[in-house]
Structures are given as C-alpha cells and as structure tokens.
Amino acid sequence: MIEIDTGFNGDRYISHFQCRQFLFNLVFTHRRKSDAPHIFKQAINTIENQYHGKVRYVRLDGETSLGNDFEMLVTDKGIKAERTAPDTPAQNGGSERSGRVLITKSRTMRIEANLPANLWPEIVKAAGYTANRTLVRKLGWKTPFEAVKKQKPRFAHMHVYGCRAYSLDHHIPRKKKLEPRAHIGYLVGYDSTNIYRIWIPSRNKVIRTRDVTMNDNLLYHPSDLDIGAVLREQADQLIETLDIPEIEELLEDESEDLLDTVPALWDSTGISTPNSTELENLLEEQLHVTNSQLPTPSPTPSDESTHSLLTLSNDTKDGALPAAPGNRAHRGNEISGNFDPQNIIQGSRTRRSAYVAALGQTDKLVGYYASFSTAVKAGGMTKPPH
C-alpha cells in the first residue's frame, strides 16, 4: 500500500499486488486506508475468476491498519499471511522493489506525456497495464500476461501514452446539427482492447469510450488552448461585441460627407460653387418652408368641393396638364401618364449625377431640400462646407 497526494477523483492510496512467480501486476486506487480489506478481497476474486489462480500466501510488512476484517478474510480463504519483522523492510524486498518499479514507470509516463500530477490514479493503472505486456528476462523474454494467460497479448490497440484523442459525443440533441461531434481529450488508460480511458480537460473527468480517434503526434501541454471548453462557452461570450455608433454620431458623419462632396459636384457640372454662407442660408430657408413634423391630414372633401378645387387648380396654373378623366384626387392634374422631359436624367444613373440634377431644380424640389436640411440639422452641423 502506497500513500500519495489526493488525486483528481479523491483517491489517496495505491494498493499494488504482484505475483512473485509470473510478475503479474494488479493495481487499485482508493480513498481511505480502511478500504484495503475490500480491495484485497476484490484482488483475490479477480485472480480466482479471471486468471484461474489460487492465492496460497501473501507477504506484507507490519501494517496494522488492515484490522480484523483482513485477518478474518485470509483465515476463511486459507491464505497464509507472512509478515516481516518490525522495522525490517529488507525481508519484503521483492514487494518493495516492485512498488518502486511501478512508481518509476508512472513518473516517467506522466513526465513524457506532460499530464497533470493529479491524474496519478489513471497513470499508475496504465503503468501496471503496460508492465504486464512488457518482456521480462526472468520469464524467458515473455510478458507476464503471456505467462498467466498462455497466449500472447495484443498490441494493436495501444497508442502513445497521453496522445490526443477525439472521442465521439453520443449525447448531442438531435436538433443541434452544427454542434461539435467529439470531445477533445487525451489517452490515460485502457479497460480492454477496444475500450479506452480518455481524460477530457474541458470537463475535468475521465470517460470510457470505444468510439475514439487517436493522434499519436500530439501530446497535452498546459499552455494549449482548451478548445473543448471554448466551444462550450455561452454564445454571448464567443461573439465579439460590435461597437455601434450612436444615431447622432452617424448622422453627423453622413452630413459631413455630404457637405464635403458638394464643391466637387459643382466643379464637375461647371456651375459656380456657392460659398459656405450662401449654402447655409439656402438650407435655413428650406428648413423654414416645411415643418419637421408631418401635417395633420385634412378631411376627405366632398365631390362638389373636389371638383371646384380641381377647377381652381387648373385655372391658376399656367401650362398645367389636365387631370385624367374620373380622377377626383387632390392635385389630380399633377398625376398623369405623361412625363416632364426635365425630370429625365441623361447618362448613368448614379447618386452624384442625380444630386447634381436636383441642385439645378431648386425651385421645383422644395420638399427635397427641406428634407435634406432637416436631416442636417438633426445630426448637427459641426463642420461647415468648404
């Protein structure tokens, strides 16, 4: 029994059993020292049922914490307990040496795989699993597994210890079609030739799985980004916060851009460029023409009043087109299928050409300039045109 720091699963003790004839190892971990009798009984049952062996004697030091349960167990099984003399560990040299070999193997495996030290419960079991499949000169260059089972062990399922493993996630909801399908972990042990023990850093637990893909070229490093944890964070932590400007700042920037482009537009059309004072006066005049709020609609006129309005409108406007037959709408004479050639923009219809054409019709597009002036004033004029 070996005491060690608390592992990731709360275990604190290692119970190591080794057959002195075949050098076969059984390794168990447990939390309390009082669990030793139960672990000893489990080891005896494993030897008898799985390996068809018979335990005749057990050698151990002067450990007194096993209690009466251990004494009753060895008595019922007919096992002879051989204890060493007090303060004389040399009499149990084989057990002491085997424990040292197990710890040395575990330490080298952990350092090479760069795994955390608190994973020792999995590492020592993997060290015992590997030792049972390592050639031994005492056995005629056979493995302890072959000496016990009378058949050679399989090695096709074994990989570089601590290599990266992608284990399939079987608990994804059916509607989550775009969720990752695998856990990113690292190989820490074997339960059989097709069942692996994988440590998942993002979940801080060890799982047993068959469906796994290994990458023997990648090992764990503490400084590596824990991709599994990142993928499972909340969506609001993964999406970058967009810095959306305020409405007033946006209108201010657009108004400055429009005012900056006015001189270039006038230069391209050959029209004399007004100075800043003239342009501001124009915008002020257009702003007073139309209120910033929409007027309240008037009630629907009757047929007689509509007819009189249409007649008055047609008589007062020179050269106005007549209203279409049956059209009784207000300003119906302005609604016609015929178009004014002055409203046709020649060439490509770009925003600049449309703006230039609009500037040449200041007397006819009062509402256009009123809306433009209102937008400029709403955003605030901080930069005069130049």
Residues 105 and 144 in one domain: yes
List the one residue out of 53, 60, 58 whose CA is nearest residue 80: 58
Instruction: Determine, yes or no, domain membership for 385.
Output: no
State the average pLDDT over residues 311-329. Answer: 55
State yes or no: pLDDT of 386 exceeds 70: no
For residue 182, being part of any structural domain is answered with: yes
Beta bridge partners of 349: none
pLDDT in tens, 87-138: 777 777 777 788 889 999 999 999 999 999 999 999 999 999 999 999 999 8
Same domain, yes or no: 171 and 26? no
Same domain, 281 and 213: no
pLDDT single digits (tens) 204-223: 889 999 999 999 999 998 87
Pick from 104, 165, 179: nearest CA to 134: 104
Rounded Cα–Cα distance for residues 316 and 336 (Å): 18
d(CA 70, CA 90): 23
- Is residue 195 within 8 Å of 219, Cβ to Cβ? no
The DSSP secondary-structure symbol of 311 reads H
> Which residues of 32-114 form beta strands (DSSP E)?
57-60, 80-83
Look up residue 242 and give its amino acid: L
Tell me, yes or no, whether 192 lies in a domain.
yes
Q: Which of 183, 212, 242 is the last residue of a domain?
A: 242
User: Which of 153, 171, 188 is the C-terminal boundary of a domain?
Assistant: 153
| CB of 112 closer than 8 Å to CB of 163 | no
Is 79 within a domain?
yes
Confidence of residue 322 (pLDDT cuts 50, 70, 90): low
For 49-95, the pLDDT digits (tens) are 888 888 888 887 766 667 777 888 888 888 888 887 777 777 777 77
| DSSP helix, strand, coil percent of the chain (3-state; round to 5) | 45, 15, 40
User: Residue 340 pLDDT > 70, yes or no?
Assistant: no
* Residue 21's CATH number: 3.30.420.10
Reference 123, options 36, 206, 182, 47; nearest CA is 206
Last residue of a domain, one of 226, 242, 258: 242
pTM score, two decimals? 0.57
Do 120 and 45 share a structural domain?
yes
The helix or strand, by DSSP H or E, that contains position 25, with its residue range, turns out to be: strand 25-30
Mark whether 257 and 368 lie in a shared domain: yes
In this predicted structure, the answer to whether residue 245 has a pLDDT above a threshold of 90 is no
pLDDT value of position 335: 61
Are 206 and 319 members of one domain? no
Residue 142 DSSP symbol? B
CA 196 to chain CA centroid, nearest Å:
25
Per-residue pLDDT of 128-180, as tens digits, reads: 999 999 999 989 899 999 999 889 998 999 999 999 999 888 888 888 888 88
Q: 158 with 295, same domain?
A: no
Q: Tokens 């300039």, residue?
A: 369
114 plus 30 within the same structural domain = yes
Would you state the pLDDT for residue 250? 47
Q: Taking residues 233-262, report their average pLDDT.
A: 50
State the pLDDT at residue 333.
Answer: 63
Count of structural domains, the chain: 3
CATH classification of the domain holding 230: 2.30.30.140
Q: Does the pLDDT value for residue 188 go beyond 80?
A: yes
* Helices (H), ranges, 132-222: 144-149
> Would you say residue 100 lies in a domain?
yes
pLDDT tens-digit series, residues 279-303:
566 656 655 554 455 556 666 655 5
Domain span at residue 322?
Answer: 247-379
Give a yes or no: residue 386 inside a domain: no
Question: For residues 377 and 358, what is the distance between their CA atoms, to the nearest angstrom?
Answer: 20
Q: What's the pLDDT band for 244 if we cut at 50, 70, 90?
A: very low
Both tokens of residue 233? 């964070």
Q: What are phi and psi of 154, to 5 degrees?
A: -95, 140
Of 147, 207, 189, 179, nearest to 23 (Cα)? 147
d(CA 32, CA 20): 26
Same-domain check for residues 238 and 264: no
Contact at 8 Å (CB) between 271 and 351?
A: no
Of 194, 178, 174, 275, the closest CA to residue 231 belongs to 178
Q: Residue 384 domain-assigned?
A: no
Residue 284: half-sphere exposure toward Cβ, Cα within 13 Å: 6
3 state SS of 79: coil
Residues 177 and 274 both lie in one domain:
no
Q: What is the pLDDT of residue 84?
A: 79
Residues 133 and 176 in one domain: no
Question: Are 149 and 159 part of one and the same domain?
Answer: no
Spell out the residues 6+ positions from residue 80 whose beta carbon is closer than 8 angstroms to its own.
Answer: 56, 57, 58, 74
